């Protein structure tokens, strides 16, 4: 492999000598967005072009220059154009110390797997401008994209897909006058199948991270002002400029942004996902002076009312809790009264469950080896909620409150629902005077056992999360 790479680079130098081309290494960004599709059977997306503008500004904020960025919009984003630019713009002149950013906003879909490499019998695909419904060869499947990505010599490849590849979350493409689903049902594929785009080369090469707008069985949304996932990413990049921001943090913030935007439409709620290289997911998205992003250093920040250091690397326990949330079969709607809190401000949560059961709320910062059971607690130990009930924690005029304390940093708030009784407060380690119980790793192992030991028809639990910030301003 190393020998082939050396030969390849030597060829580039030779061609530069012949053609006078500049082959100096450079970071590259390719931004692709489609709003108005050629085939009238494909519904248009009102926010597609807005996404392109937003993403270009975001790329500039991340440290890419105007010369580093190429945009394919509308007719330019046909299948041939996308393949050509991934295979040339993201390859020629790019070196091992560089970072490549590939962004796509448009429709996703699923088609029958022709090469039999998918467990579910389906290939996930993005829908180019000139795709024709019913003609599989007009799409770009995950296999095709992976083959193109494998040619990119960059040391770091960040792929952002604001589309979805499952139709399970909606029966129609037009959700209402404000939102459209970024998925089209393909002939011959049942809408109930699950699936999401897979970056196969990420596991092998360890140099690719994928930020996806939603989970496998969810539908991403486009709005008039842009797609919610893209807007969420753009907001946190603008807020964090001059500091550090990892892909994991960006995904978490986008999830909170989407939840807040859809608070009046909980049936449309979806959750961003991250896949691929764990080390790249934990690196700074902002470019350093030397090119690619820097390593994340330090801890994330405090739990509400706790102390801890600042930084961006998630702890093992943070990742454990996130994993539990992501594996939940039922997505809970969780909203915070604000997205960030100045020291001294009070946090309030709103949680809605579809079924009656028991709700537990935990918080975690990377500076802590344990999480904190915020609810139930010593003041309120009854955590039973009725079906369809929206619970506000703490309630107005309640007997406890969540007050933001220094130092500044990120806080993960995780909510879990079970049909059988479960209390993080009672199961946690605490003294008699402790308001909040400490939930250890073993408590979460107990949670996993209890959540799955409810019988064949009751082996599912619900979960949701939000990432908030404490600021000193």
Q: Is position 302 within any domain?
A: no
Q: Encoding tokens for residue 120?
A: 């579910």
pLDDT (tens place) for every residue of the chain, 473 residues total: 444 444 434 433 333 333 333 344 589 999 999 988 998 888 888 777 889 999 999 999 999 999 899 999 999 999 999 999 999 999 998 988 899 999 999 988 887 766 555 455 577 888 999 988 878 888 898 888 889 999 999 999 999 999 875 443 333 333 445 666 666 665 555 444 444 444 444 443 478 999 999 887 788 888 878 889 999 999 999 888 888 999 999 999 999 999 888 888 888 888 999 988 888 998 999 986 445 665 332 222 222 322 233 344 667 778 788 878 877 878 787 888 877 788 778 888 888 888 888 999 988 875 656 678 888 888 888 989 988 888 888 887 677 788 777 666 778 888 998 888 888 888 775 665 666 666 766 566 555 444 444 444 444 688 888 888 777 66
Q: At what angle do helices 79-88 and 142-149 cross, to 10 degrees?
A: 20
Same domain, 366 and 282: no
Query: For 96, how many CA atoms within 13 A lie in the half-sphere containing its CB?
Result: 7
At residue 335, the 3 state secondary structure works out as strand
Residues 323, 233 share a domain? no
Quick check: is 343 in a domain? Answer: yes
Q: CB-based contacts of 276: which residues, under 8 Å, 6+ apart?
A: 159, 199, 202, 203, 208, 209, 210
**Residue 304 within any structural domain of the chain:** no
Do 280 and 400 share a domain, yes or no?
Answer: no
Whichever domain contains 260, its CATH number is 3.40.50.1460
- Are both 211 and 329 inside the same structural domain? no
84 lies in the same domain as 174: yes
327 and 245 together in one domain: no
Residue 230 placed within a domain: yes
Domain's final residue, options 293, 326, 350 = 293
CATH number of the structural domain spanning residue 371: 2.60.40.1930
Asked if residue 356 and residue 280 are part of one domain, the reply reads no
- Residue 32 included in any domain: yes
Domain membership flag for residue 127: yes
Domain that holds residue 192: 24-293
Residues 401 and 267 placed together within one structural domain of the fold? no
Whether residue 285 is found in the same domain as residue 389 = no
| Domain co-membership, 342 together with 439 | yes
- Measured distance CA(393)–CA(375) in Å, rounded: 8
Into how many domains does the chain fold?
2
HSE, side-chain direction, 13 A CA sphere, residue 295: 3
Indicate whether 246 and 351 sit together in one domain. Answer: no
Residues contacting 231, CB < 8 A, separation 6+: 54, 225, 257, 261
Whether residue 206 is contained in a domain is answered as yes
């Amino acid at each position: 492999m190393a020998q082939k790479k050396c030969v390849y680079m030597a060829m580039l130098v030779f061609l530069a000598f012949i053609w006078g081309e500049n082959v100096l290494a450079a970071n590259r960004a390719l931004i692709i967005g489609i709003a108005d599709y050629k085939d009238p059977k494909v519904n248009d997306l009102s926010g597609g072009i807005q996404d392109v503008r937003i993403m270009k500004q975001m790329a500039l904020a991340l440290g890419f220059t105007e010369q580093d960025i190429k945009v394919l919009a509308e007719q330019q984003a046909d299948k041939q154009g996308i393949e050509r630019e991934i295979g040339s713009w993201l390859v020629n002149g790019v070196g091992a110390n560089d970072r490549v950013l590939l962004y796509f906003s448009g429709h996703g879909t699923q088609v029958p797997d022709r090469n039999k490499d998918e467990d579910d019998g389906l290939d996930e695909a993005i829908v180019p401008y000139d795709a024709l419904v019913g003609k599989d060869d007009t799409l770009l499947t995950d296999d095709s994209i992976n083959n193109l990505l494998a040619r990119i010599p960059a040391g770091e490849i960040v792929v952002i897909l604001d589309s979805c590849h499952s139709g399970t979350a909606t029966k129609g493409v037009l959700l209402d006058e404000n939102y459209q689903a970024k998925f089209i049902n393909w002939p011959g594929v049942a809408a109930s199948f699950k699936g999401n785009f897979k970056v196969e080369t990420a596991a092998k090469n360890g140099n690719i991270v994928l930020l996806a707008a939603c989970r496998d069985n969810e539908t991403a949304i486009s709005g008039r002002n842009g797609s919610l996932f893209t807007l969420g990413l753009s907001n946190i990049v603008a807020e964090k400029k001059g500091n550090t921001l990892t892909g994991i943090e960006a995904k978490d913030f986008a999830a909170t942004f989407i939840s807040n935007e859809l608070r009046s439409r909980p049936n449309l709620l979806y959750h961003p996902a991250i896949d691929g290289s764990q080390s790249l997911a934990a690196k700074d998205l902002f470019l350093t002076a030397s090119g690619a992003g820097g390593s994340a250093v330090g801890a994330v920040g405090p739990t509400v009312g706790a102390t801890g250091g600042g930084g961006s690397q998630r702890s093992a326990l943070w990742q454990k809790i996130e994993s539990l949330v992501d594996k939940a079969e039922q997505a809970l709607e969780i909203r915070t009264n604000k997205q960030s809190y100045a020291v001294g401000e009070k946090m309030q949560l709103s949680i809605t469950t579809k079924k009656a059961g028991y709700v537990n709320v935990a918080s975690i910062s990377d500076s802590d080896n344990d999480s904190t059971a915020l609810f139930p607690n010593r003041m309120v130990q009854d955590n039973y909620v009725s079906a369809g009930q929206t619970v506000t924690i703490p309630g107005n005029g309640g007997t406890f409150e969540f007050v933001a304390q220094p130092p500044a940093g990120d806080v993960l708030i995780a909510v879990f629902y079970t049909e059988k009784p479960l209390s993080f407060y009672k199961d946690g380690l605490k003294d008699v005077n402790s308001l909040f119980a400490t939930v250890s790793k073993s408590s979460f192992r107990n949670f996993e056992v209890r959540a799955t030991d409810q019988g064949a028809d009751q082996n599912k639990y619900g979960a949701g999360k939000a990432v908030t910030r404490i600021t000193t301003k």
